[in-house]
Amino acid sequence: MASIDERFLDFIRSRKNNIVLDDIKDDVKKNDGTNSKMADYLLFNRDVILEQKLLTNDRTDLINEKLNELAKTDEWLKRSWFGRVHIEELIRKHPESDAFRKKIMDYAYRNIKDLVATANRQIRATKESLNIPRAVGGLVILNESIMPYESENVITELNFLVENPHYEHVDFVLYISELRRSTHNMIDISAMIKSKSSRYEFVNWYIKNVFSFDFASFLITPYSFYNRVRLCENALALWSYLSYRNCLSKHLS
């Protein structure tokens, strides 16, 4: 089977009105003849700019090193951290949860923060280069096998990041994880939308009514649906394999 990033590219190419920007990079040059570092895709008749990122680094060892360091001076952590305990569980139970989160988040999710920051720059460059200032900007993060980044915990951090005004060009983030594909025949798709996005209603509608169903229909071919993916028993059970969560107070409804 092709890698998750290759399959996602195939999905983008399969839909009408989508543009892979690498295909037209020779047509979009700056005055000095060079190309701006733009996002990966234009979707929905250039109304959506999407950058694709793949999680590749397992930061477990770095996180453990930081926890060992903190445990030298943190009595609660010294007593509570033993065996295999997920970082988000430690944060949730810590008596000074907010302060503890700030101490370790840079270690636990630095690469995710870097992905959002880079996407913000690329989306901004795409708007400027193509003169589409009203296009909404999105980031899709793909996780094929990096175990520490379970969906429930990643979306907590992505919520913080998508609401950060510093990343003003990122209107939404999609997190697609295949960690449960082999064990539960399930692909997790989570959506975070910037609550103050000037086009919140459009983004909400687009994710729910366009992207989600396009992605589902791409996955469910007669072969992949029954023989390879084995995610649903019939078309009416479509949503049984999409663990689809909106993490803001405004839910996709």
- Digit-by-digit pLDDT tens for the chain (253 residues) are 788 899 999 999 999 899 999 998 777 766 665 677 899 999 999 999 999 999 887 777 777 888 888 999 999 999 988 766 677 788 889 999 888 887 877 777 888 999 999 999 999 999 999 999 999 999 999 988 876 665 566 777 888 899 999 999 999 999 888 877 777 777 778 889 999 999 999 999 998 888 988 887 887 532 222 222 223 233 223 333 343 333 333 333 3
With respect to residue 223, please indicate whether it lies within any of the assigned structural domains.
Answer: yes
User: What is the per-residue pLDDT for 134?
Assistant: 96
With respect to residue 48, please indicate whether it lies within any of the assigned structural domains.
Answer: yes
DSSP annotation of 216 reads H
- Number of domains composing the chain: 1
User: What is the per-residue pLDDT for 213?
Assistant: 81
CB 141 within 8 A of CB 4: no
HSE, side-chain direction, 13 A CA sphere, residue 103: 19
Spell out the residues 6+ positions from residue 188 whose beta carbon is closer than 8 angstroms to its own: 151, 175, 176, 177, 179, 180, 243
With respect to residue 228, please indicate whether it lies within any of the assigned structural domains.
Answer: yes
User: What is the per-residue pLDDT for 149?
Assistant: 61
With respect to residue 86, please indicate whether it lies within any of the assigned structural domains.
Answer: no
With respect to residue 241, please indicate whether it lies within any of the assigned structural domains.
Answer: yes
pLDDT tens, 18-67?
Answer: 999 999 877 776 666 567 789 999 999 999 999 999 988 777 777 788 88
Cα first-last separation, the chain: 34
With respect to residue 192, please indicate whether it lies within any of the assigned structural domains.
Answer: yes
User: What is the per-residue pLDDT for 222?
Assistant: 28
With respect to residue 76, please indicate whether it lies within any of the assigned structural domains.
Answer: no
Q: Which domain does 138 fall in, by range?
A: 4-57+105-246
With respect to residue 252, please indicate whether it lies within any of the assigned structural domains.
Answer: no
User: What is the per-residue pLDDT for 187?
Assistant: 79
